[in-house]
A and B are shown apart, each in its own frame.
Chain A
Amino acid sequence: MNLEERTAYGDIGRKGLWENNTALVQLLGLCPLLAVSNTLVNAVSLSLATVLVMALASGAVAALRTLIPYEIRIPVFILIIAALVTCLDLAFNAWLHELYLVLGIFIPLIVTNCIVLARVEAFAAKNSPLAAAWDGAAMGVGLLWVLALLGSARELIGAGTLFSGIDMIIPGAQAFRLLGDDYPGLLIAILPPGAFILLGLLIAARNAWVARATATRPTAPHAPADAASA
């Protein structure tokens, strides 16, 4: 891998994780993820499934891109994504059954998550399989860390615990009760409005950070987070 390619891959990673972050900048495909981000385990599980689908779908589309006629590319993309998600849904049902019951309809709904199709159309259809899989994974991991943060915050504020439901993945493992047994809980953090409020705060924090970073380095090359392009 020469220097230029390495820079390109670094660029893809940085965009996915921070500059063009799915959850904080592009705000794409958030509905199912906000719905299941009420605990850390749920948020990370569905994000991991999304990362897997994005990496596989982008890689598969990039590998097949020379065979896909331009006119019918969208049906073919959706076909590929839907097939992969169906396989993943079956795998969850078979080997992570408890988690499958919790995530329920949101696993099949990954098909309709617009970020998956967006990356396939905007990137994978024009790039090599490796770069496309890396782009899908980076975009997915960008979503994952934000969702993990959101899930932790909602769970901790709402119920005073972390890792509740971990026994669905590692049998016998225990959740941490961080705020003591008599923590009354804050219901709104667990209910859907809590997801929107906390996501709003995270976006505000990121914007403030970016604004400060730009203000303190006025001569640095300006790298706008182009939310509009997504």
Chain B
Amino acid sequence: MSDAERDTPATPPAADPAPAETPQNELTPPASAAGTAARSALLLGTFTLIFTALMALTFEATREPIRASVEARRLELIAQVLPQGDYDNALLTDTVQLPTLPALGIAGPVTLHRARRGADPVALVFEAQAPDGYSGTIRLLIALRADGTLGGVRVVAHKETPGLGDYIDPAKDRATPKWIAQFAGRDTAQAGSWAVRKDGGDFAYMSGATISPRAVVRATGRAVAAIAPAREALFGLPTGASAGEVFK
């Protein structure tokens, strides 16, 4: 027995949608086409209103939890490159807007967060992108300490091959210590020339998957080399200001 043959115990009313095999107009007297169309339009409009209202209510109900989730997730990510005990300001709101910088690899302005302890600058936290991953762009989160050393780097999003290049993401990296940990604490004076060992640098990589780490090392180096010289000026800007002048 196919599903189409089964019916409800209740007698369907006249307006019940007819089974696919029997078009409705064979059973009911032909209504005027305009009347049918108007009725359909009215019903479709009513349904749209009702279900839009349902979606609007859900949107309102979830707005605050979503904002909290996004914020918590962001702080959690930042905590991986900068321990939460190291600063005591509202990191998510103490920001400046970076202009589009080729060194960051991101089209459009980038929000830079400033971590402070009391009045002392602690670190700058910002995103950068490596355009040359094995399969697409790799998004990075970088913490640059006020003393010029690197706090840490995390891969925020990537599409590298599972099991091969994805060890750049510490959640997938099975080595100890994690590959990405070698960024932490590095002096950034020579960041512009950072490279993996295969290219003459001093960053380790796993043989057989060089492209992903190379992309991460180079992108981090480029971004840090661009931001590090400006760090004092960046800490001095008022909250929410544009940092366009700093990079003129």
Question: Which residues from 187 to 229 on chain A have a C-beta closer than 8 Å to any C-beta of chain B?
Answer: 187, 190-191, 226, 229
Are A93 and B62 interface neighbours, CB within 8 A? yes
B209 shortest CB reach to chain A, Å: 11
Kindly list chain B residues whose C-beta atoms are within 8 Å of the C-beta of A101.
Answer: 73
Is A87 interfacial (CB 8 A cutoff)? yes
* 1/0 contact string of A64-93 vs chain B (CB within 8 Å): 111111111101100110110011001101
User: Once bound together, how far apart are the Cα atoms of A83 and B66, in whole Å?
Assistant: 18
Asked whether, in the complex, the Cβ of B2 is within 8 Å of the Cβ of A87, the reply is: no
B58 near A127 with CB under 8 A, answer no
A64 to B13, CA, bound (A): 12
Which A residues between 30 and 88 are near B, CB-CB below 8 angstroms? Answer: 38, 64-73, 75-76, 79-80, 82-83, 86-87
- B69 adjacent to A94 (CB under 8 Å): yes
Interface residue ranges of B1-51 to A (CB < 8 Å): 2-4, 6-10, 12-13, 15-19, 23-24, 36, 39-40, 43-44, 47-48, 51
Q: Footprint of B on A, CB under 8 Å?
A: 5, 8, 15, 38, 64-73, 75-76, 79-80, 82-83, 86-87, 90-91, 93-95, 97-98, 101, 122-123, 125-128, 131, 135, 158-159, 181, 185, 187, 190-191, 226, 229
Do the beta carbons of B18 and A190 come within 8 Å of each other?
no
Q: Which residues of A contact B44 (CB under 8 A)?
A: 72, 75-76, 79
Residues of A within 8 A of B43 (CB): 67-69, 72, 76
* Residue in chain B with minimal CB distance to A187: B163
The answer on a CB contact under 8 Å between B70 and A97 is yes
- For the A-B complex, the count of residue pairs with Cβ-Cβ distances under 8 Å equals 109
Which one, A65, A72, A90, A226, contacts B59 given CB within 8 A?
A90
In angstroms, Cα B76 to Cα A97, docked, is 12
In whole Å, how far is A17's beta carbon from the nearest beta carbon of chain B? Answer: 15
| Shortest CB distance B32–A (Å) | 14
B15 — nearest CB in chain A belongs to which residue? A66
Complex CA–CA separation, A20 to B71 (angstroms): 44
